[in-house]
Amino acid sequence: MKLPSYDFEDGDFWGNEILSDLEHDASAWIYWNMILDENGGPWLVSPVHNDPDPNVEHPIVIVDRRTKKVTYTGLYYYLAHFSRFIRPGSVRIGATGGREGIRCAAFPTPGRHIVAQLLNSRSLDSRVSVECGGRTLQLVLPAGSITTASCKP
């Protein structure tokens, strides 16, 4: 049985999934498998739904039942950026610019800040400029990363 990748790089895949869903007007994003064991389980085997055995799932947090070691996947850290900074009541606004492998989504928050989530899916660090309220913030996005920027216009 081959287990999915649980290292930090899996966060880029999930960060892009979340951004795509938000860009297509999703009002929330939920991930079902919060904590699973070292085997990607426990899992549901349902012949009605054609779930195989083993039905390995991708967790946010892995707890090794034997060693009690806790591992946080890349999805954990990416999801933390979205859930910590994009609070209930935030609505996505347009963001322009960008280039291949760089994505940005911006949200005015109830606290009257604008929060931008920036993903760099490239294998190289990338310089970007974020403009907000007449000011420009110059950032270097590390390769394969998520960065949160906030401003008060």
Give the DSSP H or E segment for 95.
Answer: none
Distances (CA, A) of 138 to 60, 111, 120, 129, 132: 31, 23, 15, 5, 11
- Sequence-distant (6+) residues with CB within 8 A of 60 are 31, 33, 34, 35, 72, 73, 75, 76, 79
- Mean per-residue pLDDT for 51-67? 84
In this predicted structure, the answer to whether residue 44 has a pLDDT above a threshold of 80 is: no
Tokens encoding 95: 């963001």
Tokens encoding 42: 């426990």
Tell me the C-alpha distance between 79 and 62, whole Å. 15
pLDDT tens for 71-113 read: 899 999 999 999 999 888 888 998 887 789 999 999 998 888 8
Tell me the C-alpha distance between 125 and 144, whole Å. 8
Tokens encoding 152: 């008060």
- Mean per-residue pLDDT for 129-144? 92
Say which range, 73-77, 94-98, 127-131, 135-139, has the weakest mean pLDDT.
94-98
Please tell me the class of the 90-153 domain: mainly beta
pLDDT at 68: 94
Location of each CATH 2.60.40 domain in the chain: 90-153
Predicted confidence band at 5 (pLDDT cuts at 50, 70, 90)? low
pLDDT tens for 8-27 read: 778 999 999 999 999 898 88
